[in-house]
Amino acid sequence: MNNDIIQTFNLSKIYKLKGRKKEITALNNINISIRKNEIFGLLGPNGAGKTTLVQILTTLVQPTSGYATIDGFDIIKKPNKAKNRVALMLESDMLYYRITAYDNLKFFCKIYNIPNYQQKITEMAREFGLHKWLNQYVENFSSGMKMKLALLRTLLLNRDILFLDEPTLGLDVKSVNFIIQKIKDYNKTIFLTSHDMGVIEKLCDRIAFIDKGNILKIGTQEGLKRLMQTEINIEIEISKSKKELKSELDQYEFVKEIEETNKGFIISLIERNNYRNLFSILSNFPVRKIKEQELTLGDLFLKLI
Partner 1 sequence: MKKFSKIKAIAKVDIKKNLTQIIALTEKNVKLNLRFKVNFIISLLTPIITIAMPLIIMNRFFPEIELIVYQFIAYKIFLMRGIITEFPVQLRFEKYWKTLPILMVGPFHRLNLLFGIFLSRILLILIPFSVLFIITFIQAPILITTVIFIIAIYFLIAIIFSGIGLIFGIFAVSRENFLQPLLFAFNILFWLSCLTYPYEIFPSFVQNFINLNPLYYIFDFLRFLWLENNVIITISTHFYHFSFLISLAIIIPLLGVYIFNIIYKKYGIVGY
> How does 259-286 read in b/e, with b if 16+ C-beta sit within 10 Å?
eeeeebbebbbeeeebeeebeebbeebe
* Closest to 40 in 3D by CA, of 169, 188, 151, 198: 188
Q: What is the DSSP string of 127-157?
A: HTT-GGGTTSBGGGS-HHHHHHHHHHHHHHT
**According to CB under 8 A, which one of 40, 102, 108, 301 is a site residue for partner 1?**
108
Nearer to partner 1 by Cβ, of 62 and 220: the residue is: 62
Sequence-separated (6 or more) residues with CB below 8 Å from residue 181: none
Smallest gap from residue 212 Cβ to partner 1 (A)? 22
Residue 151 or 282: the one with the smaller Cβ distance to partner 1 is 151
Choose which of 7, 25, 28, 84 interacts with partner 1 (CB under 8 A). 84
Residue 217's contacts (CB-CB under 8 Å, 6 or more residues apart) are 208, 209, 224, 227, 228, 304
Q: Is 111 in the site for partner 1 (CB under 8 A)?
A: yes
| 106 belongs to the binding site for partner 1 (CB under 8 A) | yes
State in angstroms the smallest separation of the CB of 93 from partner 1.
8
* # of chain residues touching partner 1 (CB under 8 A): 28
Nearest to 168 by CA among 189, 185, 188, 151: 151
Site string for partner 1, 155-174 (x = CB under 8 A): --------------------
Per CB under 8 A, which of residues 8..67 are in contact with partner 1?
Answer: 55, 58-62
Q: Work out whether 73 is an interface residue with partner 1 (CB under 8 A).
A: no
| CB distance 294 to 205 below 8 Å | no
> Contact between 4 and partner 1 (CB under 8 A)?
no
Residues that bind partner 1 (CB under 8 A): 55, 58-62, 80, 83-84, 86-88, 90, 92, 94-99, 103, 106-108, 110-113
